[in-house]
Amino acid sequence: MAEPAQKLLRFKSHRNLAYRLVLATLTGRAIHISQIRPSSPTEPGLAPHEISLLRLLEAITNGSQMAISYTGTTLIYKPGLITGGVSGIGANGGVVKHELPATCTRGISYFLLPLCLLAPFSKAPINVLFTGAGVITAATQTGDMSADSVRTAVLPLYARFGISNNIELRILRRSSAGANGKGGLGEVQLLFPHQVRLPKTVHILNPGNVKKIRGIAYCTGVSASNNARMIDTARGILNSMAGDVYIFSDVSSAPSVPSQEQPDAKSRRKSGIGFGLSLVAESSTGSLYSSDVASPSSGGVTPEDIGRQCVYRLLESVSLGGCASLEAAPTMLILMAMGSEDVGRLQLSGEVVGSETVIELARDLRVLGASGWGFRQATSGPETDIVVSVVGKGVGNVGRKIT
Amino acid sequence: LYGARQGYRPSDLARLIYDDSLTPAEVNRKWKGEASNPKDDAPTDEQLQEEEDFFSKPKTFAHENEFADTDGPIYNDVELGQKWSNPDNLDALRQRFTMTSLRHDSAEND
């Protein structure tokens, strides 16, 4: 394009890196991020999961340029077009195979959430297969949600924006976090074949009441009784709150790799052993609240404790109010900001709007040229609820402008 | 002037959120009205001490690393456990669930 070279937009620190990269890609602005963990004595600069995310961006875009400084503390990213699964660029037969390194400490949702945000604006359908020694499908100690929660609590939100056709998240092989919280051996495939010109403008102002609760208890490489114990504890509390509670149980064996100590064919090492619970509460108006707890890789926590903690977190999330939980708020706000040049409204809990993630997101959006958000008191719901008005940027999908 | 400020006022948030001189954590605290006591404005002993040490001690970015870069909220499970094992809090939350009246009545009849 014959546009004059744009000035690099400058950001600091590693915070919100994933969303900054997503926003830069969507708006087509080049960004410069400095001071990425500059004072860490052992691991300065970009972490393995962040490098992996950059590689993923490279695979699903065409013409992206990135430069990382020697120490990894500075990054320049010039985004290209989001092409998705166009053969020959990053994909093979429409499928982009993305391998995560064994040093990855973040759950797969760290990659899925940004990827889902880019997918509606892609030129071709997105079909990414996450594989390798770093795929953790369970929730992690680093605070990432499980792949189950992404499927049940985040992907349904896209329907609100008119993006709903055949979106699928397949958990092909489950894995909990491996030793020291590093790596798993799971396999996850995201199919996102619904591309749009612009997401619909939404007005979501009624949180509604929670009408049903669904959950998935998963365990990998441990006895299925762990699932039963988590479900029993969780239902013990939830049954008195909601009438419609159903928690699924998913038992799978732990993925294994050939042992490194004895590299003969027979000995294999199990990896990613653990269990966890994902709960989602759905309100009468379609608001979703989710919570996730998984056993730490060091062990020593009973399934009862996991079940109880997960329920308490769910209740806390419901009690905060608003139409989106903190996990889902960035996704919704970004889709609203990328919508048509119209005012969309979303009611959020005061705790969610005032959270550091959302504040950071508001600032990043402004730096990238979006207009400021408006805030007003909500007329329904708890007193601290705030209605956020977001004016869309009308950037939309460059690949689909001419049809 | 800012003596008894209430928290969670939308107009405050519009002012604070785009004020780049504050870190997100500070915005969060100010908006909730937690930093309304005047001693926050006056330098504390610790801050004075820090100023004295300015040339000897490099400023660390510890606070930057503390902020976990996650989407999910950081829960304190001990506090949550105390809060939600209390039946009064559970009862208060029942109005956010459908079928509350029905359930609640049946629980009382038991």
Residues B89 and B109 in one domain: yes
Q: Shortest CA distance to A46 belongs to which of A55, A334, B72?
A: A55
Per cent of chain A over pLDDT 70 is 94
Domain assignment of residue B14, given as a range: 1-74
- Do A113 and B107 make contact, defined as CB atoms within 8 angstroms? no
Interface of A with B in 45-104 (CB under 8 A): none
Mean pLDDT of chain A: 90
The ranges assigned to domains in chain A are: 210-249+272-320
Residues B61 and B110 in one domain: no
Residues B22 and B63 in one domain: yes
Report the CATH superfamily, name and number, of domain A210-249+272-320.
Answer: RNA 3'-terminal phosphate cyclase, insert domain (3.30.360.20)
**Residue B65: which of A37, A237, A316 has the nearest Cβ?**
A37
Q: Is B109 on the interface with A (CB under 8 A)?
A: no
A90-140, pLDDT tens digit by residue? 677 889 999 999 999 999 999 999 999 999 999 889 999 999 999 999 999
Residues B99 and B56 in one domain: no
Nearest CA in chain A to B13: A375
Question: Comparing A11 with A403, which gets the higher pLDDT?
Answer: A11
Q: What is the pLDDT of residue B68?
A: 53
Distance from CA of B92 to the nearest CA of A (A): 9
Q: Is B108 on the interface with A (CB under 8 A)?
A: no
Q: What is the pLDDT of residue B52?
A: 56
Q: Shortest CA distance to A214 belongs to which of A278, A118, A159?
A: A278
Separation CA A84–CA A57 (nearest Å) = 10
User: Is the CA virtual torsion A130, A152, A313, A354 positive or negative?
Assistant: positive
Asked whether the ipTM of the predicted complex exceeds the cut of 0.90, the reply is: no
- Do A312 and B97 make contact, defined as CB atoms within 8 angstroms? no
Does A309 score more than 90 pLDDT? yes
Q: What is the pLDDT of residue A323?
A: 94
Q: Is A235 on the interface with B (CB under 8 A)?
A: no
Q: Is A10 on the interface with B (CB under 8 A)?
A: no
Separation CA A7–CA A32 (nearest Å) = 10
Q: What is the pLDDT of residue A265?
A: 63
Q: Is A315 on the interface with B (CB under 8 A)?
A: yes
A352-401, pLDDT tens digit by residue? 998 888 999 999 999 998 888 999 999 887 788 999 999 998 877 766 55
Residues B57 and B108 in one domain: no
Residues B67 and B94 in one domain: no
Average pLDDT over residues A185-202: 93
Give how many domains chain B has, as a whole number: 2
Residues B45 and B67 in one domain: yes
B68-110, pLDDT tens digit by residue? 566 567 788 889 999 999 999 998 898 888 865 554 444 444 4
Residues B69 and B95 in one domain: no
Q: What contacts A63, CB < 8 A, 6 or more positions away?
A: A80, A81
**Residue B98: which of A284, A317, A375 has the nearest Cβ?**
A284
Residues B66 and B16 in one domain: yes
Contacts of B14 in chain A (CB under 8 A): 372-375
Cβ contacts from A onto B, under 8 A: 146
Q: A45 to each of A74, A342, B31, how far by Cα in Å?
A: 7, 39, 32
Residues B48 and B4 in one domain: yes
Residues B68 and B80 in one domain: no
Question: Whats the size of chain B, residue-wise?
Answer: 110
Residues B63 and B88 in one domain: no
